[in-house]
């Protein structure tokens, strides 16, 4: 399996923007936290979150390939379960239907990062002190972070977590990741 260092080098070679890299790091944090919660392979789940958008720079104009090309690029570097999740995270466009816990965890985990990050930018304290109820309120406001698919976030239930517990876990993971990034 690819190491985290190798994964970061691969992302750099693919030309991810700073914003997309930040999204990838936040997704890694959320997926790692979900793996810990479910007793799954934290390294594999974290790398899946980190690498799920590895092909985005080359597929931005071909959304039907996003996830498929990434899985092809990562073949032999991640377990097949991880590759399947990467294909399914954009299932609406690729036709790859999510089926496993990891598939649903990636879909909800990577999607919620956008909503939480947008909410943090609106708060004077950022992520500090953020609560699930404030994110649930933002989910109801269709104009707020309008491109974030709320239905994907609700797929946390298919992964095995109720929405409040999932949001608390995601907020905590992103808060820790942001603090560690600030210390680096």
pLDDT at site 181:
73
Closest CA to 139 of 126, 153, 122, 129: 153
What's the mean per-residue pLDDT of the chain?
96
28 membership: H or E segment, kind and range: helix 18-38
Tell me the mean pLDDT in the region 6-31. 96
Partners of residue 75 on adjacent β-strands: 78
pLDDT at site 184:
46
pLDDT band for position 22 (50/70/90)?
Answer: very high
Share of the chain above pLDDT 90, in %: 96
Identify the burial level of 184 via C-beta atoms within 10 angstroms of its C-beta, where 0-12 means exposed, 13-18 middle and 19 or more buried: exposed
pLDDT band for position 182 (50/70/90)?
Answer: low
In this predicted model, which residue has the larger pLDDT, 12 or 183? 12
Tell me the mean pLDDT in the region 12-36. 96
pLDDT tens for 103-159 read 999 999 999 999 999 999 999 999 999 999 999 999 999 999 999 999 999 999 999
Tell me the mean pLDDT in the region 42-57. 98
4-183: in CATH 1.20.1070: no
Q: Which long-range contacts (CB under 8 A, 24 or more apart) does 167-171 make?
A: 167/112, 167/132, 167/135, 167/136, 168/131, 168/132, 169/30, 169/33, 169/34, 169/37, 170/30, 170/33, 170/109, 170/112, 170/113, 170/116, 171/116, 171/127, 171/130, 171/131, 171/132, 171/135
- Boundaries of every domain in the chain: 4-183
pLDDT at site 94:
93
CB contact at 8 A, 35 and 100: no
pLDDT band for position 175 (50/70/90)?
Answer: very high
What is the C-alpha to C-alpha distance for residues 121 and 114, in angstroms, rounded to an integer?
Answer: 11
């Amino acid at each position: 399996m690819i190491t985290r260092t190798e994964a970061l080098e691969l992302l750099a070679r693919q030309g991810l923007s700073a914003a997309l890299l930040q999204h990838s790091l936040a997704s890694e944090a959320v997926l790692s936290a979900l793996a810990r919660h479910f007793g799954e392979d934290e390294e594999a789940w974290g790398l899946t979150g980190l690498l799920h958008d590895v092909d985005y720079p080359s597929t931005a104009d071909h959304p039907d390939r996003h996830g498929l090309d990434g899985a092809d690029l990562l073949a032999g570097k991640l377990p097949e379960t991880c590759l399947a999740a990467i294909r399914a995270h954009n299932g609406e466009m690729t036709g790859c239907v999510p089926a496993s816990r990891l598939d649903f965890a990636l879909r909800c985990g990577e999607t919620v990062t956008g909503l939480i990050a947008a909410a943090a930018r609106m708060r004077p304290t950022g992520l500090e002190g953020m609560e699930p109820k404030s994110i649930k309120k933002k989910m109801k406001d269709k104009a707020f972070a309008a491109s974030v698919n709320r239905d994907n976030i609700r797929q946390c239930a298919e992964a095995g977590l109720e929405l409040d517990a999932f949001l608390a876990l995601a907020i905590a993971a992103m808060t820790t990741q942001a603090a560690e990034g600030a210390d680096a």
